[in-house]
């Protein structure tokens, strides 16, 4: 049977003004925020920042394409992309329109709708693994091509993102190299743009990038 979880405090939905800021600020402030789609809510414990056209690890580094058009749109947009021929990953667009910055939602804890999450991920899946990694998180929330381009700041959007009930303090904030990013964008000294909450079991393991591996958002 699913575990009984404490009810997350209901906070305000995040507005366009929240996202219309530098990507590194938005990424940190998304830790502890909740993402809801249908019955499932995930509290974010790990994210990665991508600075668009100025970031060699970003899909948008070489400019706008049909695939990345959402990244160049308004802040608060949902960019969902397909990778490795089998997985979806979700990002929230931030910064001024046209800059193509985005935050990859890497991992989180399911805090509501565990039965629905298990229906997607498997009834035997350990609770910590339901949304531990960006593909698992997107699967657990039921995010795919159909949600790409949604504006999460619009009233009535089926994907809701709400502010963290309590900001993550410096004592629990950790940073490091982005997972699976090769080349200059994977340099953890120049781009220590993976952020996570220390002590959270749902944080995904670090893996360095490999040559010819596709870039993230």
Confidence of residue 211 (pLDDT cuts 50, 70, 90): confident
Give the integer Cα–Cα distance in Å for 9 and 22.
27
Return the bridge partners of 108, or none.
44
70, two tokens: 């959402």
Six token digits for residue 204: 């995904």
Q: Are 158 and 186 in contact (CB under 8 A)?
A: no
Helix (H) or strand (E) holding 162: strand 159-162
The mean pLDDT of 189-202, rounded to a whole number, is: 98
Q: What are the tens digits of pLDDT across the range 85-125?
A: 789 999 999 999 999 999 999 999 999 999 999 999 999 99
Whether pLDDT at 191 is above 60 = yes
**For residue 165, is pLDDT > 80?**
yes
Helices (H) and strands (E) in the chain, counts: 4, 8
Number of neighbouring beta carbons within 10 Å of residue 65: 11
For 55-91, how does the pLDDT look when each residue is reduced to its tens digit (9 = 90+)? 999 999 989 999 999 999 999 999 999 987 789 999 9
Contact between residue 149 and residue 167 where contact means Cβ atoms under 8 Å apart: no
User: In 72-158, which ranges are E strands?
Assistant: 78-83, 87-94, 101-112
For the CA atoms of 54, 57, 61, 66, the dihedral, rounded to the nearest 10 degrees, stands at -140
| Residue ranges of domains in the chain, CATH in brackets | 16-197 (3.10.300.10)
Q: Give the contacts of 119 (CB within 8 A, at least 6 positions apart).
A: none
- pLDDT of residue 51 exceeding 70, the answer is yes
The mean pLDDT of 169-188, rounded to a whole number, is 96
Proportion of the chain in helix, strand, coil states, percent, rounded to 5: 20, 25, 50
User: What does the pLDDT read at residue 210?
Assistant: 82
What are the backbone dihedrals phi and psi of residue 59, each rounded to the nearest 5 degrees, phi first? -60, -30
What lies within 8 Å, CB to CB, of 155 at 6+ separation is: none
Asked whether residue 148 carries a pLDDT value surpassing 80, the answer given is yes
Per-residue pLDDT at 7 = 59
CA distances, 152 to each of 116, 131, 161 (Å) = 21, 20, 7
pLDDT of amino acid 85: 76
Q: How far apart are CA 10 and CA 25, in angstroms?
A: 22
């Amino acid at each position: 049977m699913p575990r009984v979880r404490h009810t997350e405090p209901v906070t305000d939905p995040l507005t366009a003004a929240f996202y219309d800021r530098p990507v590194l600020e938005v990424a940190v402030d998304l830790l502890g925020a909740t993402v809801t789609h249908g019955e499932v809510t995930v509290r974010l414990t790990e994210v990665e920042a991508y600075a668009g056209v100025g970031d060699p690890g970003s899909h948008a580094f070489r400019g706008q394409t049909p695939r990345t058009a959402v990244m160049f749109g308004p802040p608060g947009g949902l960019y969902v992309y397909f990778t490795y021929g089998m997985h979806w990953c979700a990002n929230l667009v931030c910064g001024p329109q046209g800059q193509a910055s985005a935050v990859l939602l890497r991992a989180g804890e399911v805090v509501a709708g565990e039965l629905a999450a298990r229906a997607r991920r498997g009834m035997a899946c350990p609770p910590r693994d339901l949304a531990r990694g960006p593909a698992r998180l997107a699967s657990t929330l039921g995010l795919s091509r159909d949600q790409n381009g949604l504006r999460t700041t619009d009233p009535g959007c089926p994907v809701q993102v709400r502010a963290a009930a309590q900001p993550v303090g410096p004592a629990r904030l950790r940073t490091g190299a982005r997972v699976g990013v090769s080349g200059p964008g994977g340099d953890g000294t120049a781009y220590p743009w993976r952020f996570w909450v220390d002590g959270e079991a749902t944080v995904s393991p670090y893996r360095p990038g490999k040559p010819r591996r596709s870039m993230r958002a």
